[in-house]
Copies of this chain bind each other. A is one copy, B any other.
Amino acid sequence: MRTHIVYAHPHNGSLNAALRDEAVQTLEALGHNVTVSDLYAMNWKAVADYDDFGPTENEHFMAAAGEAWGKGEIAEDIKAEQAKLLDADCVIFQFPLWWYTVPAILKGWFDRVFTNGFGYGTSRDWPRFGDGVLKGKRAMVVVTTGAAESHLSDRGVNGSIDDLLFPLQHGVLFYPGMQVLPPVVITGAVHRFGESEYADAVKLLRSRLETIAETEPIAYRKQSEDYDEDKRLLPGLEPEGTTGFALHIAR
């Protein structure tokens, strides 16, 4: 398997960096071909703007992006990341949870790499939510949180981690067709991390990497199968009383 890791943390002596190194070693020992995009080390340009495109007549930003992609006149750093994705069987996104989502540098990686024409399209019949350019590839989020597990639990004040990750896992990764595995969530990364907690985290991460090829993906519903013309979930598919993001996962 070819596994690509997209990694975002500013400190190379961090818990995240240590876990990234463990992941690379574990995957290589399993025979994977591993590549890493270390966004801070690459000094990744986070902000999507007109500098990402060649000359354009399109003032509208999204149209200019689509034109640039169509003509192959998009920034080289974006093309390089797109090539890594197309080359991978599995993509791991590793980051600390900042303000309940990814750090800006990783958000900017999605904004720029998943550009109009590649990651998404604006036509009504664009294949999305289960189909798309990355169809069939596996994706897995590895996230550390300062918050304790209970704060991110079903009744936790932060909202449940599964719901917090939905816009990323469903809206960004499943949108262009990736099969999203349940995330690896390492909580309490600020207060309580000693040797024993680190050992537990490594154990969890390794076990998930060892089974990455066969782990059952989250059963997000395909747009092409379970939604009507207005992209609303067809009636009667969900257990009675289901609401919120849970509607979009088949049980």
Contact = CB atoms under 8 A, between A and B. Distances in A.
A47 B243 contact: no
Contact of A223 (B150, B157, B160): B157
Given A148-B230, A157-B233, A231-B157, A244 B59 contact: no
Contacts of A233: 155-157
A107 B110 CA distance: 12
B157 A248 contact: yes
Contact of A243 (B13, B50, B170, B244): B244
Interface in A94-143: 98-105, 107-108, 110-111, 114, 122, 129
A99 B172 contact: yes
A211 interface: no
Interface in A194-251: 221, 223, 227, 230-233, 241-248
Given A104-B105, A159-B167, A160-B244, A122 B190 contact: yes
Nearest to A130: B157
A32 interface: no
A146 interface: yes
Contact of A159 (B146, B166, B230): B166
A40 interface: yes
A14 to B, nearest CB: 7
Contact of A49 (B10, B60, B108, B148): B10
A104 B46 contact: yes
Nearest to A150: B230
Contact of A231 (B151, B166, B243, B245): B151
B150 A13 contact: no
A240 B166 CA distance: 24
Interface of A: 9-11, 13-14, 40, 44, 46-50, 59-62, 98-105, 107-108, 110-111, 114, 122, 129, 146, 148, 150-151, 153-160, 163-164, 166-168, 170-172, 190-191, 221, 223, 227, 230-233, 241-248
23 contacts: A11-B50, A11-B60, A46-B105, A47-B105, A98-B111, A99-B110, A101-B101, A101-B107, A103-B111, A104-B108, A104-B111, A129-B157, A150-B231, A153-B232, A155-B233, A156-B233, A157-B248, A159-B166, A159-B244, A163-B244, A167-B167, A242-B243, A243-B246
